[in-house]
Structure 1
């Protein structure tokens, strides 16, 4: 049973990857076996590496807590229990005081418990957003921050030139960190970073949709240049998928042998989806179908459809965006980017009078209303009909 080089803590049996890790000797009394082994349920080395890494991290965290639990509290022998007050001394009622927890400690708790398996951007967002608070207001106990601190923080973000949407994200992260840490240590508090007023539309620029003739021109250039970057553009152009969704695809997510060729958009350890509704199937038509065939034929040394921008640890959508937007800029109207393909797809589906809830399902947009959460949605045949009509 040899560990594979491409996926640590794994071995392959009949083409299937298995996780395998020895139980540390000092924790062996907690287990009835000397090794932990189970199937990772995949034949993909990239998927196996990511799943094994996550499992190893979870085990390391669990083993840390087991070791802490097995060790006596330092100074236990010095503790005294006093059931009665000294003679002549009256009992004085006191409020229970919680252990002080600073904002920097709150961030560490938040990341340790909620950051497992999350992308590096999750950690950066928490550290950066709360770092801004510490720069402006100091690293205080989380219960010591006031509304004036929150307002000063808002004013500093505005002074930094952040757009309203960016300020909303920063405040949301700070609130989440403080609320989670307060819950963990058993503190009831009103979070001062909630309900802070600012102009949420300040500095926010709307992205323009690409005119259909520009989409067609770009697709013709993609067929002419015929490389991995242009395959990525072509798939986005006729599916309306988000750039990160395309860049993070496995080849096996592209179903060309199905009666209706389509892409399965699903969450992967290296690329999370924006919303729960983003999990979906998108029919392949037009330039997207051409590009999907090119990927399957040309990418032979990787499980990833776009290995230039994808690894078992992350999808580098920012690099893809920078490269592709630079290529597109001379060929598209002002304010148009890769994301404009999503706006264009919505307009193209509107133009053929596609029902709004079908549009939402194709693009992975949230459909309002409780009833839309029931059932499995429209079948692939219906989606394909409207996609072909809009192509």
Structure 2
């Protein structure tokens, strides 16, 4: 026994049955148990031998593993195979004077009382890697749906200890979403996202705080069947003859109007266009283009979103008037709300499903209709290519040729 743990460890030696006669397997298991034991010692030393309830439970989990068992509550042990119960009692009897060992092996440690309502406070610090390079607005957009999801979950099943959440609770939550879908106040896609958010929050917190909960199994087979609710595209002729008419959009402010022009011939997302800095708009090159890329204060939606898009037709017209980028709108949501309201109030939406984002789908359809290869389309859209990727991708010249074929005509 190492001398540095003697003030905290009551055992003078440790013996664990490895359950195998194979020397190679025994060495592998011994290394694993050695890690468990040293992890337990670190916990004891860190707490100076005095553990609060949460720490005591985590220590019991580690101590049970250090003796060759998974930690189980008394109720779980009562349902375990007789052979396991006998073995637990046998090992505990050998350490009868060591209260912590007996408690760890026979389920005597009280589980942490972490309430569902406290989970987000524990969750946020565990997600720092997911928020790298995001602006304050992007962080709020990332956090808000997760806050709403867990709040809704608690509203349905009540605020209880995380360790007390059951499969029945998850089924109740799923049924709540089914009822909302049935009465037309929600769609399956929204339900699936919320269920996924709740699962991720609970799983992340359980893993980080060593709470014994099989979250993955609790949420298995919970996904609801989704209908195809993709935004419909505008017809190209409608965009050319109606949307890109100066008279049609005269009631919009200049930047909102030019955002429509920019989207029409780049297919870029609103947030990507509004996030462009002056150095990302290269009008003096032989082929003018925009460079969509991440910055320290602005993350992209996916790793594949970074790309260079040649400027033609309506997009070249837009950025020729905005060489420094969008200064009025620094928030894509505000711009989208303004434009979609204008489209709705001026009967510029062929169906209720159409929105500003429909221009992105129109852009993709126009490229397909022109016969552009799927790899070129994926590059211009910022999508992951479905086939194997070789080399550096298509050059600006090649993308420019395809975009010239579909460019909208702007009369000046």
TM-score, normalised relative to structure 2: 0.65
SS of structure 1 residue aligned to 2:279: helix
CA–CA distance in structure 2, aligned partners of residues 222 and 186 of structure 1? 63
Q: Is the 8 A contact 2:126 2:204 kept in 1?
A: no
Match of 1:181 among 185, 205, 215: 205
1:358 lines up with 2:376 in the alignment: yes
- Which residue number in structure 2 is paired with residue 121 of structure 1? 141
Instruction: Select the structure of larger CA radius of gyration.
Output: 2
Per-residue Cα deviation, 1:336-356 (whole angstroms, up to 9, x for no partner): 211111111111111110001
Structure richer in strand, relative to its length: 1
How far off its partner does 1:181 sit? 0.9
CA–CA distance in structure 1, aligned partners of residues 260 and 213 of structure 2? 48
1:376 lines up with 2:396 in the alignment: no
Match of 1:317 among 329, 332, 341: 332
CA–CA distance in structure 1, aligned partners of residues 372 and 51 of structure 2? 74
Q: Is the 8 A contact 2:234 2:362 kept in 1?
A: yes
- Output aligned runs, 1:195-274, within 5 Å: 195-201=221-227, 205-217=229-241, 218-221=243-246, 225=250, 227-274=254-301
Q: Relative to structure 1, is the Cα distance of residues 224 and 164 closer, same or farther in structure 2, using a 3 angstrom cutoff?
A: closer
Structure richer in helix, relative to its length: 2
Per-residue Cα deviation, 1:161-203 (whole angstroms, up to 9, x for no partner): 22111111111111111111111112453221332142322xx
- Which residue number in structure 2 is paired with residue 347 of structure 1? 365
1:142 lines up with 2:154 in the alignment: no
TM-score, normalised relative to structure 1: 0.69
CA–CA distance in structure 1, aligned partners of residues 175 and 386 of structure 2? 34
Q: Relative to structure 1, is the Cα distance of residues 137 and 306 closer, same or farther in structure 2, using a 3 angstrom cutoff?
A: same
- Which residue number in structure 2 is paired with residue 331 of structure 1? 348
Q: Is the 8 A contact 1:354 1:386 kept in 2?
A: yes
Per-residue Cα deviation, 1:249-280 (whole angstroms, up to 9, x for no partner): 22221111222111111124554322211111
Q: Number of paired residues?
A: 298
CA–CA distance in structure 1, aligned partners of residues 51 and 198 of structure 2? 40
Per-residue Cα deviation, 1:197-238 (whole angstroms, up to 9, x for no partner): 42322xx63322111111113223289848111111110011
CA–CA distance in structure 1, aligned partners of residues 209 and 102 of structure 2? 27
Q: Relative to structure 1, is the Cα distance of residues 251 and 144 closer, same or farther in structure 2, using a 3 angstrom cutoff?
A: same
SS of structure 2 residue aligned to 1:291: helix
- Which residue number in structure 1 is paired with residue 177 of structure 2? 157
1:389 lines up with 2:405 in the alignment: yes
CA–CA distance in structure 2, aligned partners of residues 351 and 100 of structure 1? 59
Moved more, 204-213 or 353-362: 204-213
How far off its partner does 1:124 sit? 1.3
- Pairwise CA RMSD: 3.0
1:94 lines up with 2:106 in the alignment: yes
Q: Relative to structure 1, is the Cα distance of residues 348 and 358 closer, same or farther in structure 2, using a 3 angstrom cutoff?
A: same
Match of 1:172 among 191, 196, 200: 196
Q: Is the 8 A contact 1:223 1:230 kept in 2?
A: no
Gaps of 5+ in 1: 1-71, 79-83, 300-304, 311-315
How far off its partner does 1:76 sit? 5.9
How far off its partner does 1:95 sit? 4.0
Q: Is the 8 A contact 2:112 2:163 kept in 1?
A: no
CA–CA distance in structure 1, aligned partners of residues 148 and 112 of structure 2? 25
SS of structure 1 residue aligned to 2:106: coil
